[in-house]
């Protein structure tokens, strides 16, 4: 193979508004490779290819994730950063030279210093005199000399190149081009080995025996009441478990043969005690619980449904790739149930369009009504989350989709979808091999996701698509 030099993978990190997206666009321009970047597909990062003074780069940016949450900036920045630099050769840590060094920058610098990924400190917005004070302050961060840059005006790129040169991959760690894409996915199987029915998909991971269920929601929606109703007499309380917080109690029981374990119930009880006070949604806590869960039941109050916090949590669940079930509680006290239900469903569809068909159940935790239905739906969501579609079926389906609506022409040439395979479940994640992944438009990805959801009956489940180069 000629020209098989491995690309240098660069992650752009930093607090919001320092100019990450501007730099990304400056480097990558229109040659943007969308990876998991479709409404309806959880987005982990966006990556694009760039060439900077002869250095071949894969650039990763996480800026778009910021809008997802509206609380705990530090927690979400840390998570974003971890993801972005996980596979990067080097991190470009941006600060705003005009704004100077902020406490958040200091925090960030602290984590980055502890990590293994080398860091290049970049003082952005350094054009003109306004950036000079920030440039000096930047030394305090203990990350060496800052590279002054103006992403917007394209100044300082030569200095950036110089800073990147030491990290340029050496010929001995050459890699064929396709592997660069693979590096973005989680240990994807070789399609050639995947077999006609996709038998060579990922080796079955250690399946935890129980369905891990989390109950989340704003204060006062009825989480504790629901919890207590679920953990009825016949259900078994077990002791503290390894891997959970010290004061957490795991509650486990069987539901129609399926062991179910409630996670982080102690946290719920603890919070329930401060009931009545003005209590803020603890996003960091909620996120922790969501990450421990397979299925997350988001409890809403039938009288105050889908406010900003509800949506924040719903998006966290989707973004973390968990199965989401919505329980509309206090249904006993709703007067005109028919009208209310219609309104709620409409609202869900418009507020969370990215995951069509999220299962919703109206319940009364207080009276123990429709809790069986809730558990039923939970179990079904769990099954869909675990769903695997054989490769042969997938490819038959994708051929049909392409025949109905071929991908567009780009510069007179047809984009070709070569092959598709499910690379993992929990949530269902598919690799799509395309001759020119960079050019496949977003609306086409949406078409595929919606099509998958319909054809294989996966309503309400997060579906992830990974674009990969396949010639
Ligand atoms: P992100 O949140 O870190 O991705 O930041 P953005 O790329 O969205 O940029 C935040 C703001 O800073 C935008 O208004 C940009 O136009 C502006 N900006 C980005 N780079 C520069 C720069 O080099 N100089 C100046 N003056 N402004 C910039
Ligand atoms: P949490 O903060 O989400 O744990 O909410 P709680 O479980 O403490 O419930 C908050 C309030 O809503 C309490 O006064 C409950 O009695 C009430 N509540 C909970 N579930 C229901 C329900 O199904 N119907 C009605 N009418 N009230 C409920």
Q: What is the tens place of the pLDDT at every residue in 408-440?
A: 888 888 889 988 989 888 889 898 888 887 778
Quote the pLDDT of residue 265. 55
Higher pLDDT, 297 or 356: 297
Q: Does 329 belong to an annotated binding site?
A: yes
- 13 touches 84 (CB < 8 A): yes
Terminal Cα-to-Cα distance of the chain (whole angstroms): 14
- 34 touches 442 (CB < 8 A): yes
- 85 touches 91 (CB < 8 A): yes
**β-strand partners of 326:** 298, 360
CATH number of 8-167: 3.40.50.300
Rounded to whole angstroms, the Cα distance separating 223 from 301 reads 10
CATH of 211-240+248-386, one of 3.40.50.300, 3.30.470.10, 3.30.980.10, 1.10.3720.10: 3.40.50.300
- 373 touches 359 (CB < 8 A): no
Predicted confidence (pLDDT) at residue 76 exceeds the cutoff of 70: no
Rounded to whole angstroms, the Cα distance separating 392 from 289 reads 37
Comparing CA positions, the residue from 317, 132, 111 lying closest to residue 214 is 317
Rounded to whole angstroms, the Cα distance separating 119 from 175 reads 23
Rounded to whole angstroms, the Cα distance separating 436 from 381 reads 34
Q: Does 342 belong to an annotated binding site?
A: no
- 43 touches 64 (CB < 8 A): yes
Distance 228 CA to ligand 2 centre (A): 11
**Polymer length of the chain:** 471
For ligand 1, pick from 15, 22, 25, 73 the residue to mutate: most ligand atoms within 8 Å of CB. 22
The whole-angstrom distance between residue 267's C-alpha and the CA centroid of its chain comes to: 24
Question: What's the half-sphere exposure (Cβ side, CA atoms, 13 Å) at 451?
Answer: 19
Q: What is the tens place of the pLDDT at every residue in 261-279?
A: 887 654 444 444 444 433 4
Model-level pTM greater than 0.90? no
Quote the pLDDT of residue 401. 95
Token pair for 464: 């992830």
Comparing CA positions, the residue from 38, 115, 45 lying closest to residue 80 is 45
- Only one residue has tokens 């941006």, namely 94
Return the ligand 2 atom nearest residue 364 CA.
23
For ligand 1, pick from 11, 17, 148 the residue to mutate: most ligand atoms within 8 Å of CB. 17
**β-strand partners of 296:** 214, 324
Would the CATH topology of 211-240+248-386 be identical to that of 391-469? no
Rounded to whole angstroms, the Cα distance separating 28 from 52 reads 9
Rounded to whole angstroms, the Cα distance separating 243 from 220 reads 28
Q: Give mean pLDDT, residues 211-220.
A: 88
- 149 touches 156 (CB < 8 A): yes
Question: 51 in helix, strand or coil?
Answer: strand
Q: What is the tens place of the pLDDT at every residue in 24-39?
A: 888 887 544 343 333 3
- On the 0-12 / 13-18 / 19+ scale of CB atoms within 10 A, 66 is middle
For ligand 2, pick from 220, 222, 277, 333 the residue to mutate: most ligand atoms within 8 Å of CB. 222
- 63 touches 21 (CB < 8 A): yes
Residue 99 carries which DSSP code?
A: T
Token pair for 28: 């990558």
Predicted confidence (pLDDT) at residue 104 exceeds the cutoff of 70: yes
- 378 touches 371 (CB < 8 A): no
Token pair for 128: 């003109």
| Spatial CB neighbours of 328, under 8 Å, sequence gap ≥ 6 | 300, 302, 305, 344, 360, 361, 362, 363
Rounded mean pLDDT of the chain? 75
Is cis: bond before 390, omega within 30 of 0?
A: no
Return the ligand 2 atom nearest residue 299 CA.
3
Token pair for 224: 């504790």
CATH number of 391-469: 3.30.300.20
Rounded to whole angstroms, the Cα distance separating 43 from 442 reads 12
Question: 166 in helix, strand or coil?
Answer: helix
Return the ligand 2 atom nearest residue 279 CA.
2
Q: Atom 2, ligand 2: which residue's CA is nearest? A: 220
Q: What is the dihedral of CA 326, 329, 332, 337, to 10 degrees?
A: -40
The whole-angstrom distance between residue 342's C-alpha and the CA centroid of its chain comes to: 30
Quote the pLDDT of residue 113. 86
Domain residue limits, the chain = 8-167, 211-240+248-386, 391-469
Q: Give mean pLDDT, residues 348-356.
A: 74
Q: Does 126 belong to an annotated binding site?
A: yes
Distance 326 CA to ligand 2 centre (A): 16
154 C-beta closer than 6 A to ligand 1: no
The whole-angstrom distance between residue 387's C-alpha and the CA centroid of its chain comes to: 19
CA dihedral over 447, 448, 452, 458, signed as positive or negative: negative
Q: What is the tens place of the pLDDT at every residue in 328-337?
A: 999 999 998 8
Q: Does 387 belong to an annotated binding site?
A: no
Predicted confidence (pLDDT) at residue 190 exceeds the cutoff of 60: no
Q: Does 268 belong to an annotated binding site?
A: yes
The two most distant CA atoms of the chain are separated, in Å, by 72
Q: Atom 6, ligand 1: which residue's CA is nearest? A: 19
Q: Does 17 belong to an annotated binding site?
A: yes
Question: What's the half-sphere exposure (Cβ side, CA atoms, 13 Å) at 195?
Answer: 8
């Amino acid at each position: 193979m000629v020209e098989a030099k491995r690309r240098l993978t660069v992650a752009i990190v930093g607090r919001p508004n320092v100019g990450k997206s501007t730099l990304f666009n400056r480097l990558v321009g229109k040659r943007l490779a969308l990876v998991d970047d479709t409404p309806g597909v959880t987005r982990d990062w966006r990556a694009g290819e760039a060439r900077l003074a002869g250095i071949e780069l894969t650039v990763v940016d996480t800026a778009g994730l910021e809008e997802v949450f509206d609380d705990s900036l530090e927690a979400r920045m840390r998570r974003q950063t971890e993801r972005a630099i996980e596979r990067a050769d080097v991190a470009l840590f941006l600060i705003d030279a005009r704004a100077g060094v902020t406490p958040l920058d200091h925090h960030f610098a602290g984590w980055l210093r502890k990590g293994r990924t080398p860091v290049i400190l970049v003082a952005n917005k350094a054009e003109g005199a306004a950036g000079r004070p920030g440039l000096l302050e930047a030394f305090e961060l203990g990350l060496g000399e800052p590279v002054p840059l103006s992403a917007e005006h394209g100044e300082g790129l030569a200095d950036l190149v110089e800073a990147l040169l030491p990290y340029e991959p050496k010929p001995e760690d050459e890699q064929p081009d396709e592997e660069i894409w693979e590096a973005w996915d989680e240990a994807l199987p070789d399609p050639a080995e995947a077999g006609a029915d996709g038998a060579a998909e990922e080796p079955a991971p250690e399946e935890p025996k129980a369905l891990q269920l989390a109950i989340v929601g704003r204060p006062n929606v009825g989480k504790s009441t629901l919890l207590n109703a679920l953990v009825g007499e016949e259900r078994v309380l077990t002791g503290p478990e390894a891997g959970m917080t010290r004061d957490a109690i795991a509650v486990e029981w069987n539901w129609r043969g399926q062991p179910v374990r409630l996670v982080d119930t102690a946290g719920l009880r603890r919070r329930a005690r401060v009931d009545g006070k003005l209590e803020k949604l603890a996003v960091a806590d909620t996120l922790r619980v969501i990450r421990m869960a397979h299925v997350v039941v988001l409890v809403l109050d039938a009288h105050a449904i889908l406010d900003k916090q509800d949506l924040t949590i719903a998006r966290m669940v989707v973004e973390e790739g968990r199965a989401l079930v919505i329980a509309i509680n206090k249904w006993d006290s709703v007067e005109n149930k028919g009208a209310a239900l219609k309104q709620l469903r409409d609202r869900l569809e418009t507020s969370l369009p990215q995951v069509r068909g999220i299962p919703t159940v109206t319940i009364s935790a207080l009276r123990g009504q429709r809790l069986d239905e809730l558990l039923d739906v939970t179990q079904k969501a769990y099954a869909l989350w675990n769903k695997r579609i054989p490769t042969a079926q997938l490819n038959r389906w994708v051929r049909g989709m392409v025949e109905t609506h071929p991908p567009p022409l780009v510069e007179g040439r047809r984009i070709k979808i070569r092959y598709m395979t499910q690379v993992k479940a929990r949530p269902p994640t598919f690799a799509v091999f395309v001759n020119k992944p960079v050019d496949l438009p977003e609306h086409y990805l949406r078409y595929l996701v919606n099509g998958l959801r319909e054809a294989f009956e996966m309503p309400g489940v997060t579906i992830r698509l990974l674009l990969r180069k396949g010639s």
